[in-house]
């Protein structure tokens, strides 16, 4: 598997299908693990989705005193292990993206596992599957590269080129999540 | 890994002990493809799985679609007939309920005549059912009074299309072509929230450089990504369209050859639009002249453009004018009947397209035939096995039926697949009329606000407990599969209608064992009509990913693209619209100084009877709200989240405020998915379009009040 979760925030229409769909995944206990927020509703309706970045060196796992957060061989950062999690909630503070959630009833952390049951068989996660706007995509490395080149291509079509001081306007707004093992 | 394959090359998660039933969503006109997960042993519905290979939606769904399966085996389902005794519902047998209905129907019709009984249908059900509602009313009950909730939804689009193009097919092109378009002009549609999965096609085009122009009083999620957002005053679409056409003519963006060959009325249109200069248009619409000019140039220069609209432009007293004028914009540019260009409306209800073709409308017979046409009456009478003299006369539109209830012309009503006491305008009046009926029967699977008023509630099935077809927003006929057997003692609407017809001695006209037989009759009934389904079969639908009507013969593949050579008018030419701006029925006054407009949120569908019962959707949007601009809020000293009172001469409501700059300063927006005290339709205006009889939901003058602490 050499797939990438590709986020394009600008495309998000705030429908929250990704959240509804997250609840539908096999081991998710009907609880969503991602979130969608308004950037600033007073100003505009722009929303953005966020899900686990499946970090290489995950802050959540690093701050976990009980070693309860496991990383699969494919690099997917899992929910806390039932028997190990001591309910300290360090992970919820540690994650820079606010991903780990806490279930106060079972005293246990739960989080996005990139729909492990799906993605390990190369089937798109629920959020990426349903997102009507392709704000969340589950794509091949090559497809990702092509999307990266798109902005340059569009600028050429429109006859624009970066000037000193506005180069950052030409960088696509996106976030990538990598998993890079074989299956 | 064959357990993952639903079909060659398409991988899905299929869990052990489960099967996937391939079908479509029950809600909006996108009719997104989906699989429903069913436990093979218990036959219980387990969840949903994306249908990646459905040609139009590619596995994508909005949150309503994702959670739709939760309505099937829902604890609120009505599982047995309910009869109201001493003001309370009591469960009964079908036998007892049918006995009562038979007695009451005979009593009412015996005393006051056949027409004292009316039928109020809906289009959130299959073609088979929609077709049968018309036949049930006219043959089963023999009444002229039948109309349906599509009157509030699609009738202005229908009126406008018939007038300009001679036929009412929601889209002149298949939407899979949209990615090749260069420009979309979208009026009164917040497609990102109301038809979310359509967005993928606009992005595909936008990614290649296509331009998007959106006309909407709010900067919706759709308008947010537009190249030009025309933030017009509610109710001023006809001025805007005339203004754009003024500029198309002025800057010579008109496709003269096309207009010459294929359109009537160009000179008249030119004359009418002459006064709609950007300044004049700006004054009426409240949109800055520069924006109108920019939009006209973008639209005018685009080689392939699609003009699209929805309820924002249609639910007005000038709804038909607006549709005709917007359609004329596409005609002036010579776009209709060509690749990746044309005109389309967004169908609000799942079968809003199909449901309006098969004779649920007060004046229409199946195949889009006119009830006033003796030949049509003769043909359909033949199909139905009745004498042409027995065919009832045309009736009146949905809202006008309530006037006839007030006048006691209509004394009994059968509501099928609708919740008019939430979805009508001016519902305090509507409620009163329903309460005063002698007898009200409602088919539903949840106890809607309308069902609460009924004497008898008959438990219908959800979409997943019956087979059939619907026609999506493109005009593509698709296959809805049966997922599970009816829950409890519920029955599909077609069976309920057949049982009642039987009791009234009309059983011989309603001998159906399964929906397929009804579809075959529908095919015959539509044969030779405008919406010709004769060449459509369930098998063909499965084989070719749906069939676009018209498909007049069995070897006909269907018609994805319309109007390639001629229009469906008598002379084959399109009629350009020559309509002046008339303005909404209500004007602002000292007492009601602001504008109110209504619409949907992504989490709810129509009157909310289904979606308000689904946990996720309820959590996301539990109650209506009043959206307003911070400048307006500050004038009234209102803070975000504060509850305020809105009133019109017809009613008032209290709801919390959401403050955002993404709306005009003089307009407030309230979604309409709730009933009773939470219903914005207590306030909305029942003024009707003179042609389509569509109420003006989108515009009324309103008073805003801060509540004293
Ligand atoms: S499904 Fe896609 S568009 Fe909808 S809220 Fe999630 S990320 Fe945004
Ligand atoms: S990848 Fe799966 S678990 Fe993670 S947010 Fe998306 S749906 Fe939820
Ligand atoms: S409501 Fe419409 S857009 Fe949403 S899933 Fe159903 S058919 Fe698709």
The CB of B64 under 6 Å from ligand 3? The reply is yes
Which of B11, B15, B659 has the CB atom closest to A122's CB atom?
B11
CA distances (Å), origin B632, targets B229, B657, B658, B661: 21, 11, 12, 10
CA distances (Å), origin A106, targets A25, A85, A98, A109, B177: 19, 10, 20, 9, 50
Q: What is the pLDDT of residues A120-155, one digit of tens each?
A: 999 999 999 999 999 999 999 999 888 888 777 777
CA of B62 to the centre of ligand 3 (A): 5
Is B388 inside any structural domain?
Answer: yes
Q: How far is B371 from B394, CA to CA, in rounded Å?
A: 6
The CB of B316 under 6 Å from ligand 3? The reply is no
The CB of A113 under 6 Å from ligand 2? The reply is yes
The CB of A115 under 6 Å from ligand 2? The reply is yes
The CB of A12 under 6 Å from ligand 1? The reply is yes
| Cβ pair B1:A14 closer than 8 A | no
Distance of residue A67 Cα from the nearest chain B Cα, in angstroms? 31
The CB of A4 under 6 Å from ligand 2? The reply is no
Say how many C-beta atoms besides its own lie within 10 A of residue B123's C-beta.
33
Is B394 inside any structural domain?
Answer: yes
CB contact A46 to B (< 8 Å): yes
Residues B382, B496 within the same domain: yes
Exposure on the CB side of residue B417, measured as CA atoms within 13 A: 32
Residues B222, B210 within the same domain: yes
Q: CB within 8 A of A48, min separation 6: which ones? A: A9, A12, A36, A37, A39, A135
Which of B196, B220, B658 has the CB atom closest to A132's CB atom?
B196
Residues B37, B130 within the same domain: no
CATH assignment at residue B683: 2.40.40.20
Distance of residue B212 Cα from the nearest chain A Cα, in angstroms? 14
**Nearest CA residue ID for atom 5, ligand 2:** A34
Domain layout of chain A by residue ranges: 54-111
Task: Please give the pLDDT value at position A181.
Answer: 44
Q: How far is B604 from B614, CA to CA, in rounded Å?
A: 10
| Cβ pair A20:B220 closer than 8 A | no
Task: Residue A150: list chain B partners with CB under 8 A.
Answer: 207
User: A18, A127 in Cβ contact below 8 A?
Assistant: yes
Residues B337, B417 within the same domain: no
Residue A120: nearest ligand to its CA? 2
Which of B62, B630, B659 has the CB atom closest to A17's CB atom?
B62
Is B333 inside any structural domain?
Answer: yes
Q: Alpha carbon B112 to chain centroid distance? A: 33
Size of chain A in residues: 183
Is B261 inside any structural domain?
Answer: yes
Chosen from B27, B47, B71, B192 to mutate, greatest number of chain A CBs within 10 A: B192
Residues B364, B428 within the same domain: yes
Chosen from B13, B205, B629, B631 to mutate, greatest number of chain A CBs within 10 A: B13
Which of B4, B47, B221 has the CB atom closest to A45's CB atom?
B221
Most ligand 2 atoms within 8 A of CB, residue of A4, A21, A31, A127 to mutate: A127
Exposure string over B82-97, b if 16+ CB within 10 A, otherwise e = bbeeeeebeebeeeeb
Four-residue CA torsion sign, A68, A72, A77, A81: negative
Q: Which of B124, B79, B65, B116 is nearest to B423 (CA)?
A: B124
**E strands within B71-127?**
82-85, 88-91, 117-121
According to DSSP, residue B423 is labeled: H
Q: How far is B672 from B438, CA to CA, in rounded Å?
A: 29
The CB of A50 under 6 Å from ligand 1? The reply is no
Is B573 inside any structural domain?
Answer: no
User: What is the domain count for chain B?
Assistant: 4
| Final residue in a domain of this structure, among B497, B515, B533 | B515
Q: How far is B587 from B599, CA to CA, in rounded Å?
A: 20
Burial (CB < 10 A; 0-12, 13-18, 19+), residue B208, is middle
CA of B197 to the centre of ligand 3 (A): 7
- A residues 158..177 contacting B (CB < 8 A): 158
Residues B39, B124 within the same domain: no
Distance of residue A155 Cα from the nearest chain B Cα, in angstroms? 10
Opening angle at CA B284, ends B263 and B295, nearest 5: 55
Most ligand 1 atoms within 8 A of CB, residue of A10, A16, A21 to mutate: A16
Which residue has 């209504």 as its token pair?
B598
Query: Is cis: bond before B550, omega within 30 of 0?
Result: yes
Domain that holds residue B414: 82-153+354-515
The CB of A34 under 6 Å from ligand 2? The reply is yes
For A40, the closest chain B residue by CA position comes to: B660
Task: Please give the pLDDT value at position B622.
Answer: 98
CB contact A126 to B (< 8 Å): yes
Most ligand 2 atoms within 8 A of CB, residue of A113, A115, A176 to mutate: A115
| Cβ pair A17:B65 closer than 8 A | yes
Task: Residue A23: list chain B partners with CB under 8 A.
Answer: 616
CB contact A135 to B (< 8 Å): no
Task: Residue B1: list chain A partners with CB under 8 A.
Answer: 121
Ligand 1 atom index nearest CA of A47:
8
Ranges of chain A whose pLDDT falls below 50? 178-183
Do strands B5-7 and B18-24 pair parallel, antiparallel, or not at all (unpaired)? unpaired
| Final residue in a domain of this structure, among B327, B345, B363 | B345
| Cβ pair B616:A123 closer than 8 A | no
Is B520 inside any structural domain?
Answer: no
Residue A46: nearest ligand to its CA? 1
> B646 - beta bridge partners?
B653, B704
For A30, the closest chain B residue by CA position comes to: B616
Structure tokens at B34: 């989906």
Q: What 3-state DSSP class applies to B49? A: strand
| Cβ pair A131:B60 closer than 8 A | yes
User: B406, B379 in Cβ contact below 8 A?
Assistant: no
Residues B324, B413 within the same domain: no
Residues B232, B274 within the same domain: yes
> B415 - beta bridge partners?
B120, B442
Residues B192, B330 within the same domain: yes
Q: How far is A126 from A49, CA to CA, in rounded Å?
A: 13
CA distances (Å), origin B220, targets B189, B232, B573, B673: 9, 13, 36, 18
Q: CB within 8 A of B546, min separation 6: which ones? A: B55, B472, B476, B477, B478, B479
Q: What 3-state DSSP class applies to B291? A: helix
Is B586 inside any structural domain?
Answer: no
The CB of B601 under 6 Å from ligand 3? The reply is no
Distance of residue B59 Cα from the nearest chain A Cα, in angstroms? 6
Opening angle at CA B562, ends B561 and B568, nearest 5: 170
Q: How far is B253 from B301, CA to CA, in rounded Å?
A: 7
Q: How far is B306 from B177, CA to CA, in rounded Å?
A: 10
Exposure on the CB side of residue B650, measured as CA atoms within 13 A: 23
Task: Please give the pLDDT value at position A179.
Answer: 47
**Number of A:B CB contacts under 8 A?**
116
Residues B287, B385 within the same domain: no
Ligand 1 atom index nearest CA of A134:
2
Residues B667, B611 within the same domain: yes
| Cβ pair A130:B60 closer than 8 A | yes
Is B218 inside any structural domain?
Answer: yes
Chosen from A22, A132, A183 to mutate, greatest number of chain B CBs within 10 A: A132
CATH assignment at residue B164: 3.40.228.10
Longest dimension (CA), chain B: 71
Cα distance from N-terminal residue to C-terminal residue, chain B: 65
Residue A130: nearest ligand to its CA? 1
Q: How far is B625 from B350, CA to CA, in rounded Å?
A: 26
Residues B137, B213 within the same domain: no
Q: How far is B661 from B352, CA to CA, in rounded Å?
A: 33
CA of B614 to the centre of ligand 3 (A): 15
Ranges of chain B whose pLDDT falls below 50? 1-2
Q: How far is B70 from B85, CA to CA, in rounded Å?
A: 31
Task: Residue A10: list chain B partners with CB under 8 A.
Answer: 225
**Which CATH code, of 3.30.70.20, 3.40.50.1970, 1.20.120.530, 3.40.50.1100, is assigned to A54-111?**
3.30.70.20
| Cβ pair A16:B200 closer than 8 A | no
Task: Please give the pLDDT value at position A27.
Answer: 77
Which of B192, B630, B662 has the CB atom closest to A13's CB atom?
B192
| Cβ pair A45:B219 closer than 8 A | yes
Which of B52, B63, B219 has the CB atom closest to A17's CB atom?
B63
């Amino acid at each position: 598997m050499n797939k990438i979760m590709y986020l394009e925030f600008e495309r998000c229409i705030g429908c929250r299908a990704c959240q509804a769909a997250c609840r539908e995944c096999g081991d998710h206990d009907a609880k969503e693990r991602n979130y969608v927020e308004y950037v600033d509703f007073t100003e505009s309706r722009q929303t953005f989705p966020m899900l686990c970045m499946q970090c290489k060196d995950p802050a959540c796992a690093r701050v976990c005193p009980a070693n309860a957060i496991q990383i699969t061989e494919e690099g997917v950062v899992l929910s806390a292990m039932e028997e190990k999690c001591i309910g300290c909630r360090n992970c919820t503070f540690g994650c820079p993206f606010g991903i780990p959630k806490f279930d106060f009833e079972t005293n246990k952390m739960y989080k996005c596992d990139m729909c492990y049951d799906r993605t390990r068989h190369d089937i798109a996660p629920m959020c990426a599957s349903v997102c009507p706007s392709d704000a969340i995509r589950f794509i091949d490395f090559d497809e990702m590269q092509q999307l990266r080149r798109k902005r340059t291509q569009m600028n050429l079509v429109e006859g624009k080129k970066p000037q000193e001081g506005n180069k950052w306007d030409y960088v696509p707004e996106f976030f990538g999540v990598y998993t890079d093992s074989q299956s | 890994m064959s357990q993952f394959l639903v079909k060659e090359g398409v991988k899905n998660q299929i869990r052990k002990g489960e099967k996937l039933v391939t079908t479509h969503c029950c809600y909006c006109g996108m009719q997104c493809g989906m699989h429903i997960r069913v436990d093979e042993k218990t036959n219980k519905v387990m969840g949903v799985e994306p249908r990646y290979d459905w040609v139009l939606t590619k596995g994508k769904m909005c949150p309503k679609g994702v959670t739709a399966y939760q309505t099937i085996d829902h604890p609120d389902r009505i599982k047995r007939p309910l009869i109201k005794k001493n003001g309370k519902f009591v469960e009964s047998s079908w036998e007892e309920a049918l006995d009562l209905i038979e007695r009451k129907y005979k009593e009412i019709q015996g005393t006051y005549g056949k027409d004292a009984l009316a039928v109020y249908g809906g289009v959130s059900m299959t073609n088979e059912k929609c077709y049968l509602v018309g036949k049930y009313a006219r043959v089963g009950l023999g009444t002229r009074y039948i109309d349906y909730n599509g009157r509030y939804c699609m009738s202005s689009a229908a009126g406008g299309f018939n007038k300009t193009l001679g036929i009412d097919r929601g889209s002149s092109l298949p939407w899979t072509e949209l990615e090749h378009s260069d420009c979309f002009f979208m009026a009164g549609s917040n497609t990102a929230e109301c038809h979310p999965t359509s967005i993928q096609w606009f992005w595909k085009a936008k990614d290649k450089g296509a331009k998007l122009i959106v006309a909407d009083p709010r900067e919706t999620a759709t308008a947010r990504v537009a190249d030009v957002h025309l933030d017009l005053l509610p109710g001023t679409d006809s001025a805007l369209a005339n203004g754009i056409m003024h500029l198309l003519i002025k800057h010579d963006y008109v496709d003269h050859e096309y207009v010459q060959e294929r359109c009537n009325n160009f000179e008249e249109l030119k004359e009418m639009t002459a006064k709609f200069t950007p300044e004049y248009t700006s004054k009426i619409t409240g949109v800055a002249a520069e924006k109108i000019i920019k939009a006209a140039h973008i639209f005018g220069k685009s080689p392939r453009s699609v003009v699209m609209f929805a309820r924002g432009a249609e639910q007005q007293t000038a709804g038909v004018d607006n549709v005709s004028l917007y359609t004329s914009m596409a005609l002036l540019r010579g776009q209709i009947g060509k690749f990746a260009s044309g005109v389309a409306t967004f169908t609000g209800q799942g079968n809003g397209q199909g449901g309006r073709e098969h004779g649920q409308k007060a004046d229409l017979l199946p195949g889009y035939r006119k009830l006033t046409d003796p030949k049509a009456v003769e043909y359909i009478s033949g199909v139905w096995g009745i004498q042409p003299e027995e065919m009832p006369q045309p009736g009146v539109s949905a809202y006008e039926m309530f006037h006839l209830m007030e006048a006691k012309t209509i004394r009994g009503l059968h509501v099928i697949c609708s919740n008019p006491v939430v979805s009508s305008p001016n519902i305090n009046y509507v409620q009163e009329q329903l309460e005063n009926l002698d007898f009200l029967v409602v088919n539903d699977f949840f106890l809607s606000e309308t069902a609460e008023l009924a004497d008898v509630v008959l438990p219908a099935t959800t979409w997943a407990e019956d087979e059939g077809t619907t026609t999506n927003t493109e005009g593509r006929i698709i296959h809805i599969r049966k997922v599970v057997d009816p829950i409890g003692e519920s029955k599909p609407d077609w069976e309920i209608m057949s049982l009642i017809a039987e009791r009234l001695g009309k059983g011989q006209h309603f001998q159906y064992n399964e929906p397929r037989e009804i579809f075959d009759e529908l095919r015959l009934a539509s044969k030779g009509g405008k919406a010709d389904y004769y060449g459509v079969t369930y098998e063909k639908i499965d084989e070719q990913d749906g069939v676009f009507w018209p498909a007049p013969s069995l070897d006909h593949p269907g018609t994805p693209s319309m109007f390639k050579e001629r229009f469906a008018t008598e002379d084959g030419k399109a009629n350009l619209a020559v309509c002046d701006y008339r303005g909404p029925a209500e004007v602002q006054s000292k007492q009601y100084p602001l504008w109110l407009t209504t619409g949907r949120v992504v989490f709810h569908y129509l009157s909310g009877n289904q979606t308000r019962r689904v946990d996720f959707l309820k959590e996301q949007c539990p109650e209506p709200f009043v959206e307003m601009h911070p400048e307006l809020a500050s004038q009234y000293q209102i803070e975000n989240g504060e509850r305020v009172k809105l009133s019109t001469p017809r009613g008032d409501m209290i709801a919390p405020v959401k403050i955002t700059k993404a709306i005009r300063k003089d307009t407030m927006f309230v979604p309409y998915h709730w009933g009773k005290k939470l219903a914005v339709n207590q306030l909305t205006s029942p003024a009707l379009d003179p042609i389509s009889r569509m109420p003006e939901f989108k515009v009324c003058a309103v008073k805003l009040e801060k509540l004293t602490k």
